[in-house]
Structure 1
Amino acid sequence: MVQIGQQALLHIIVHLIFLVIVWWAMQAFNFDAWIRKGKVVQARVLYILFVISIASLVSDFFLKYLQFSTNLSQLFG
């Protein structure tokens, strides 16, 4: 049970780290040119959804890569 809790904590931390990294990286883009007048709220929601979806993809890739690399020891052990 302790290992499951540790895994859950690792997943939460990794997702939050990549969420912050993607948020920071997305600020390099200038989205103001694409926003229609009066649609600021929708643009902010879309921006947040983009950040969440990209962060989710990247963190899932990282966690799967970590899992696969730790499972390689069973191939030779």
Structure 2
Amino acid sequence: MTDGLGLGAFIHIVVNLLCLVIAWWALESFRFDLFVKNPKSKQAALLRVMCAIALGTLVARFLLDYFQATQLLPYLF
């Protein structure tokens, strides 16, 4: 019984980290210098990290919820 929980936790961690990396990669093309006063500052770097975490979390949550919903579809009928 606990083997399934461990595997689920591992999948959640991997999906979250993968989505974080993809979000960071995608935000590299975004021009933060148009929206911040000093794009080389620590605050701008922290903003970039926080945006990547927020976007990565949203995408990971969507993917995990979608996967969970598809697993529950057989119980509909």
The equivalences for 1:19-38 within 5 A come to: 19-37=20-38
The equivalences for 1:11-26 within 5 A come to: 11-26=12-27
Moved over 4 A (4+): none
Q: Which runs of 5+ in 2 are unaligned?
A: none
Identity %: 38
1:44 is matched with 45
Task: Give the conservation status (yes or no) of the 8 Å contact 2:36–2:44.
Answer: yes
Q: Which runs of 5+ in 1 are unaligned?
A: none
In the TM superposition, residue 32 of structure 1 has moved relative to its aligned partner by 2.0
Give the whole-Å Cα distance in 2 for the aligned partners of 1:36 and 1:18: 28
2:63 is matched with 62
Pick closer, same or farther for the CA change 1:37–1:18 going to 2, 3 Å: closer
Range 38-47 or range 18-27, more displaced: 38-47
In the TM superposition, residue 39 of structure 1 has moved relative to its aligned partner by 6.7
Q: Deviations over 1:4-30 (max 9, x none)?
A: 000000000000110111101001112
Q: Deviations over 1:21-70 (max 9, x none)?
A: 11010011121233324871001111100100010011001000000001
